Amino acid sequence: MTEIYTFVSGPLAWVAFGIFIIGSIYRLVSMYALAKAKDGSSLAYMSLPFGLRSILNWMIPFNTMGWKGDPLMTVATFVFHIGFLVVAVFLGAHVVLWDTNFGISIPSLPDVAGDIVSFAVIAACAIFAYRRIALPHVKGVTRGKDWFALIIVALPFITGVLAYHQVGPVLLMTILHVLAAELLLALIPFTRLSHALFVLFTRAYMGSEFGGVRNARDW
Amino acid sequence: MSQIADRIISDPGLENGVAGLTTEKIQKVVNRMLEGETGAKLKAYRETCMRCGLCSQACHFYVSHDNDPSYSPVNKATETMYELMDKKGKVEPQRIYEMAQMAYTECNLCKRCAHYCPVGIDTGYIMSMVRRICYLLDVVPQYIRDTAHSHASTMNQMWVKDDEWIDSLQWQEDEARDEFPGLRIPLDKEGADVYYSVIAPEPKFRTQLIYQAAAIMNAAGIDWTMPSEPGWDNSDMCMFVGDFENMGRLKRAHYESAQKLRVKRIVMGECGHAFRSVYDMGNRWLGHKKMPVPVIHAVEFYHELMTQGKLKITHKYEKPVTIQDPCNIIRGKGLMDKLRDVVHFLCEEVVEMTPNREHNYCCCAGGGVINCGPPFKNTRMTGNRIKADQLRATGVKDVVIPCHNCHGGLEDIIGYYDLGMHGKFIGDIIYELMEKPEM
């Protein structure tokens, strides 16, 4: 069991990070090349100030028509994304990981806070799942891919909480947690989670169009 | 949740088109189009769209059908373009019928959903690309197809012959000279400040609008002209059909006829879709980042006349009015403030609709939907109950509508829901209020 742990937290982690980083670069570069080849009439209108204006306006909860119209989704989205980043980077155990593997020392979240945020992220995932099951306008467009993305993103949090609270065999849970996180990392560029890579660009383009050409708000 | 398959409407253009299809042919055309014409934009949209459903609430079709998910923008994209991409075009001919009906008649390309999508998906663009595929497969509603054919053959939307066009202008000049002695509609005047262009339905059946425009131009002392040759029609159904080759021809003819006359700029009549074609789509197809000839919409022109003191009226319009914000000039160009300035200048009282400005609900006629003709009239009527509610809530009788599509659409809605209201172009009001010579 310990060997498995050493393997998943050692070489396999490097593989996962490698796939994530190289995969992301590949996807971004190839998408940009495609855009340059085919979307000249859109690229020409890209504007940094209007792109940023749009991104900023959509980063404020309840600032936009979309966020105002569905408060539950708004809260879930912000809790999920902020919580995800906070836990991934600043959770005590992860801070140790950054330090031992990369020599980067950053402040860590108090354990209780990390725990609460993890639960909040799981709750947000539950809300996403609830919407996919219960709301007709979401259910109708939900496909296997959407469920897959939701599950792989929720798994590291569920296994992490189980490991931290020592539910079930700790070492096994920890191994599963690391595996789940590695799976998630490696799959980001190649699943629906690739929105993490592309959203800034789609948002910025919409912002550029509306700001620079349409002279109207896009929120 | 209803299904598009359950509400198929008989249309000869769609039926005959689908009859000539096989799955192999569909696959070939879809893949050729997706490979050859679309690129990262469409691909990124499909990947980035999280199917969260937030866009649903934006769509007047969805809201008007008691939140029927089938009409939500994300569902329309999922059931058409995303499906074609996922299946690499391997779908049955009947499925193309359903997709065409959805894309041509259940989406006005008004882009209101843009205000609701957190990740910035342009469903209007996606539906335009679906229409492009349907056009390449020759599955297009008959009425709008016919209109696009008219464009392709005569360079105008209404089969107006070259001599009929000049006749109409001279006829209007003649009529107007009874009321305004000395009035001219100058044809082909080289180097004029203003080249006035209209949509072909104006000479065809709303000729009084040309009369009014001439009266306003003359009263304001504008150095203007209208072209006698093809290119005078700024409208563009080819754009909405997905016939981008002819969209390009039309816009080129429009710009070139203005360039030939060496005019300073083009002023367009009160039309929204034509403005979209000139300002947003046709120009880009031709590779113009900026207009080769400056183009302004009638609302901007009236605004100029107003601020320069050239727009003189004898009194203000007394009855309260409300304002329809046409998507193509509001969400398309941001003319909401200028539109309001002009209307407030002309009218005593304005009762706003909610929501308004760039968050306006579409008239449900635009995007070529009204041009799909009688078979789909009920689609527009039931699909825009929300607009009827919005109009009714203002309690006024007159609606200022600076767009031909909105005009047709709202007049239909007003009739169908028995609202007892009436639409007015800004030109109608200016003409009514302007100083006229004693007879």
Choose among B52, B114, B120: nearest Cβ to A138.
Answer: B52
pLDDT in tens, B262-290: 999 999 999 999 999 999 999 999 999 88
Q: Which residue of A has its CA nearest to B47?
A: A192
Q: Is the pLDDT of residue B69 over 80?
A: yes
- Both tokens of A45, joined, read 């209108």
Single-letter amino acid, residue B177: R
Average pLDDT over residues B300-315: 96
Residue B350, SS3 per DSSP: strand
Average pLDDT over residues B157-167: 96
Mean of per-residue pLDDT scores for chain A? 94
Tracing tokens 């003819």 back to the chain, one arrives at: B253
Nearest CA to A93 among A76, A74, A115, A71? A115
The count of residues in chain B is 439
**The dihedral sign for the CA sequence B68, B74, B78, B80:** positive
Determine the Cα–Cα distance for residues A141 and B97; give it in Å rounded to an integer. Answer: 20
Single-letter amino acid, residue B316: K
Q: How far is B341 from chain A (nearest CA, A)?
A: 17
Assess whether the region B4-140 and the region B151-305 belong to the same CATH fold: no
> What does the pLDDT read at residue A9?
85
Cβ neighbours of A47 in B, within 8 Å? none
Determine the Cα–Cα distance for residues B41 and A40; give it in Å rounded to an integer. Answer: 10
**CATH classification for the domain delimited by B4-140, as one of 1.20.140, 1.10.1060, 1.10.10, 3.10.20:** 1.10.1060
Do the chains contact at A216 and B74, CB–CB below 8 Å? Answer: no
The H or E element spanning position B222 is: none
Is A202 an interface residue toward B (CB < 8 Å)? yes
> What does the pLDDT read at residue A45?
95
Nearest CA to B119 among A124, A116, A204? A204
Write the class of the CATH domain B151-305: alpha beta
Do the chains contact at B44 and A139, CB–CB below 8 Å? Answer: no
Choose among B55, B117, B331: nearest Cβ to A214.
Answer: B331
Is A42 an interface residue toward B (CB < 8 Å)? yes
Do the chains contact at A195 and B75, CB–CB below 8 Å? Answer: no
Average pLDDT over residues B5-29: 97
Cβ burial B113-145 (10 Å sphere, 16+ → b, else e):
bbbbbbbbbbbbbbbbbbbbbbbbbebbbbbbb
The values of phi and psi at residue B71, to 5°, are -95, 0
Do the chains contact at B58 and A139, CB–CB below 8 Å? Answer: no
Cβ neighbours of A199 in B, within 8 Å? 48, 119-120
Q: Output the pTM of the full model.
A: 0.95
Cβ neighbours of A201 in B, within 8 Å? 44
Cβ neighbours of A206 in B, within 8 Å? 114, 117, 120-122
Choose among A31, A141, A214: nearest Cβ to B53.
Answer: A141
Helical ranges in B237-297 per DSSP H: 237-241, 244-260, 273-276, 282-285
- pLDDT range class, residue B184, cuts 50, 70, 90: very high
Average pLDDT over residues A110-139: 96
- Both tokens of B13, joined, read 């253009």
- Both tokens of B292, joined, read 């080769």
Tracing tokens 């039931």 back to the chain, one arrives at: B382
DSSP state letter for B316: -
Determine the Cα–Cα distance for residues B258 and B188; give it in Å rounded to an integer. Answer: 9
Cβ neighbours of B41 in A, within 8 Å? 35, 38-39, 42, 205
Do the chains contact at B62 and A66, CB–CB below 8 Å? Answer: no
> What does the pLDDT read at residue B437?
87
Probe site for chain A from B102, B109, B117, B279 (most A CB atoms < 10 A): B117
Q: Which residue of A has its CA nearest to B333?
A: A214
Predicted-complex ipTM score:
0.94
The answer to whether residues B33 and B242 touch, using CB atoms and an 8 Å cutoff, is no
Q: Is the pLDDT of residue B439 over 80?
A: no
Centroid of chain to Cα A169:
28
Report chain B's C-alpha Rg in angstroms: 22
Average pLDDT over residues B378-400: 97
Q: How far is B44 from chain A (nearest CA, A)?
A: 7
Is A110 an interface residue toward B (CB < 8 Å)? no
Choose among A73, A205, A215: nearest Cβ to B120.
Answer: A205
- Both tokens of A216, joined, read 């109207």
Measured CA distances, A42 to A46, B277, B380, B389 (Å) = 7, 16, 31, 37
Query: Which of these ranges, A160-174, B34-48, B389-403, has the smallest mean pLDDT?
Result: A160-174
> What does the pLDDT read at residue A1?
79
Cβ neighbours of B276 in A, within 8 Å? none
Determine the Cα–Cα distance for residues B69 and B61; give it in Å rounded to an integer. Answer: 10
Nearest CA to A183 among A155, A144, A146, A147? A155
Q: Is the pLDDT of residue A94 over 80?
A: yes
Is A182 an interface residue toward B (CB < 8 Å)? no
Single-letter amino acid, residue B426: I
Do the chains contact at A203 and B120, CB–CB below 8 Å? Answer: yes
Q: pLDDT > 90: what percent of chain A? A: 87
Do the chains contact at B41 and A136, CB–CB below 8 Å? Answer: no
**The dihedral sign for the CA sequence B114, B248, B291, B236:** negative
The answer to whether residues A76 and A127 touch, using CB atoms and an 8 Å cutoff, is yes
Q: Is the pLDDT of residue B104 over 80?
A: yes
Nearest CA to A80 among A162, A196, A186? A196
Q: How far is B423 from chain A (nearest CA, A)?
A: 25
Q: How far is A56 from chain B (nearest CA, A)?
A: 11
Determine the Cα–Cα distance for residues A198 and B49; give it in Å rounded to an integer. Answer: 10
Determine the Cα–Cα distance for residues B206 and B201; give it in Å rounded to an integer. Answer: 6
> What does the pLDDT read at residue B340?
98
Cβ neighbours of B34 in A, within 8 Å? none
Cβ neighbours of A219 in B, within 8 Å? 115
- Boundaries of every domain in chain B: 4-140, 151-305, 313-433
Percentages helix, strand, coil for chain A (3-state, rounded to 5) are 80, 0, 20
* Partner residues linked to B266 by β-bridges: B195, B295
Percentages helix, strand, coil for chain B (3-state, rounded to 5) are 55, 5, 35
- pLDDT range class, residue B54, cuts 50, 70, 90: very high
> What does the pLDDT read at residue B150?
97
Q: Does domain B313-433 have CATH number 3.40.50?
A: yes
Is A65 an interface residue toward B (CB < 8 Å)? yes
Choose among A31, A143, A204: nearest Cβ to B40.
Answer: A31
Determine the Cα–Cα distance for residues B268 and B378; give it in Å rounded to an integer. Answer: 30
Q: Which residue of B has its CA nearest to A208?
A: B120
Dump the DSSP string for B42-87: HHHHHHH-----GGGGG-HHHHHTTS-GGGSHHHHHIIIIIHHHHT
Is A26 an interface residue toward B (CB < 8 Å)? no
Dump the DSSP string for A81-121: HHHHHHHHHHSHHHHHHHHHHH--------HHHHHHHHHHH
The answer to whether residues A137 and B75 touch, using CB atoms and an 8 Å cutoff, is yes
- pLDDT range class, residue A53, cuts 50, 70, 90: very high
Choose among B45, B117, B358: nearest Cβ to A66.
Answer: B117
Count of CB atoms situated within 10 Å of the CB of A52: 16
Do the chains contact at A141 and B285, CB–CB below 8 Å? Answer: no
How many inter-chain contacts (A to B, CB under 8 Å) are there? 143
- pLDDT range class, residue B91, cuts 50, 70, 90: very high
Helical ranges in B106-206 per DSSP H: 123-136, 142-154, 162-179, 201-205
- Both tokens of B332, joined, read 């398309």
Do the chains contact at B116 and A137, CB–CB below 8 Å? Answer: no
Non-local CB neighbours of B246 within 8 Å, separated by 6+ positions: B148, B151, B152, B238
pLDDT in tens, A2-44: 889 888 888 999 999 999 999 999 999 999 999 999 999 999 9
Where are the strands (E) in B186-303, listed by range?
194-197, 224-225, 265-268, 295-297
Cβ neighbours of B289 in A, within 8 Å? 44-45
Determine the Cα–Cα distance for residues B354 and B117; give it in Å rounded to an integer. Answer: 20
Choose among A137, A206, A217: nearest Cβ to B53.
Answer: A137
> What does the pLDDT read at residue A125?
98
The answer to whether residues A158 and A122 touch, using CB atoms and an 8 Å cutoff, is yes
- Both tokens of B215, joined, read 């009266």
Interface of A with B in 130-159 (CB under 8 A): 131, 135-143, 146
Residue ranges and CATH numbers for the domains of chain A are 2-213 (1.20.950)
- Both tokens of B302, joined, read 């009236």
Probe site for chain B from A60, A130, A137, A218 (most B CB atoms < 10 A): A137
* Partner residues linked to B225 by β-bridges: B195
The values of phi and psi at residue B306, to 5°, are -65, -50
Nearest CA to B280 among A143, A57, A42? A42
Average pLDDT over residues B218-224: 97
Do the chains contact at A139 and B54, CB–CB below 8 Å? Answer: no
